[in-house]
Each structure stands twice: as C-alpha cells, then as structure tokens.
Structure 1
Amino acid sequence: MTGAIIVGTLLRASAAMVAAVPIERIKLGLLPDGVPLPAVVIRTISSVDRQPLKRGASVRVTDRVSVTVRAASYRDQTAIIELIRTACAGRIGDVGGGRRVSILTAGTGPDLAGPANSFEQSQDFRVSFDADA
C-alpha cells in the first residue's frame, strides 16, 4: 500500500473527477507520450515510516503524494485541481484500501507550461496510514 495508490483510488471513485478526466487518464507514476488531455498523474514524492518497537506491530507511514494535472486550458487545469482537492483533502478512516488513513493538503505547485503547449499544475498531499511492519 502507498499513499499514491490511496489517492488514485479516491480519484477514480469520485464521479465528478471521472466526469472531467476519464479513469484511463488517471495514471500512477508516468503519463505516456501523446496522452489525450486532460490527464492526471499521481506520484510518491517521499515516504517516512516510524519504526515499530516490537515485531508484528504496524507502522505509521506518511507519504507525500503529488497529483499533477495536464490540461488543454488554464480553466480546465484549475477546475481539475479543485476536483482533486475535493476528492482527497480531509479524508480520514479506512479509505482507498488503507487503514486509519488521514489526508491533508500539502501545497499547490506553480503553473507550468507542459508538453505540446499544455497547462500543468500539481496538488500535493500528506497521506498517513497504518501498514504492516
């Protein structure tokens, strides 16, 4: 389990998100060349886990996850960022296959010029969850 998988599960489960970005364009790790727009890629930026004091105990993991939007217009880019925030920010509980999940926003990145004159921006999250040691 990773924070990126949890975020991807939440985005694919959001009807509003899937209406804006088809499920097949919500990817983990890498966007293929020539992907139709809009598209979203989810990446793990960093991961920190606490060390258990005894064998068999679960550990608390905190992943920094970046969700990058690539869109044909600035308007689409900003609208999709809001959908991402709505689908993920503030979620707690057993979510997206993770145990005792909590998701906090961790900043919105700059506006960037993407490939083929596309518009890009990322939304970061801190995703904490319990994992088997």
Structure 2
Amino acid sequence: MDVFVRSGDNAISGAAVGASAVVERARLIASDGLNFELRHILVSRNNMALSLDNTAVRDELKLDEHLLAVSFLRDGKTSAIETYLSDLSGMNAFFPAPSSLPRYCAASCSNAAAAPMFFSMEGGN
C-alpha cells in the first residue's frame, strides 16, 4: 500500500492512501505550477536524499522554499520517502485548505521551521 502523508494545514496536506490517491496528490501539486529544481543528490551507505528548491507564483502569492527528500532503500527499492520543508507557512498560504480536508499535524507543525512529509511504499512497489 502506498501512503503519502504531508504536514501542514493546506490542500496538499493529510494522508493520500493507495497508488491512485498518491498520483492524484501529485497532480494537485503540479496543477498550481510548482517548479522543482534539483540542487544536490546526497548518498549514504544505505539511503539517498534529494535537495530541491520549490518555486511558484500565482497572482500575489509567491512560494520559494528548500526541500530535502530522504529516500529509505530496502532491497534496492525505495521503501519510504521522508521530506523536510523550509517554509510550511508559505505552503499553507500557496495551497489553501478546503474546509473538508482532513488535517495532519496542523496544530503542532504549522509554525515549524522544517516539517516532514512522509511517503511509504510497502511491498517494494
């Protein structure tokens, strides 16, 4: 089962369970014109990480944040991805939450300097 859990209080926060929900979440993120720039690929003995810059502009809103995505590998495949965001309040403003969206970590993480996003792929998918 694929699970994508995102911190914050916004339209892309909360849990997306199953491959189709994860793909739909990615489409939602891309639909607002978010640009990703790969800055660095970092490796350890067992895992790897991607350092990215995320930018986007919509009307008066501007998003400019740093992101680190750590991929945990098992048997040569990604088993989980944990992502750290530098500007959670900027993400909350850029992707405003619909009132019906379930929240994950909204109260405790909304003011955090770096908040995690977690994606797990059980079964080695």
TM-score, normalization: structure 1? 0.34
Larger Rg: 1
By percentage of residues, which structure has more helix? Answer: 1
TM-score, normalization: structure 2? 0.36
Higher RCO (C-alpha under 8 Å, 6+ residues apart): 2
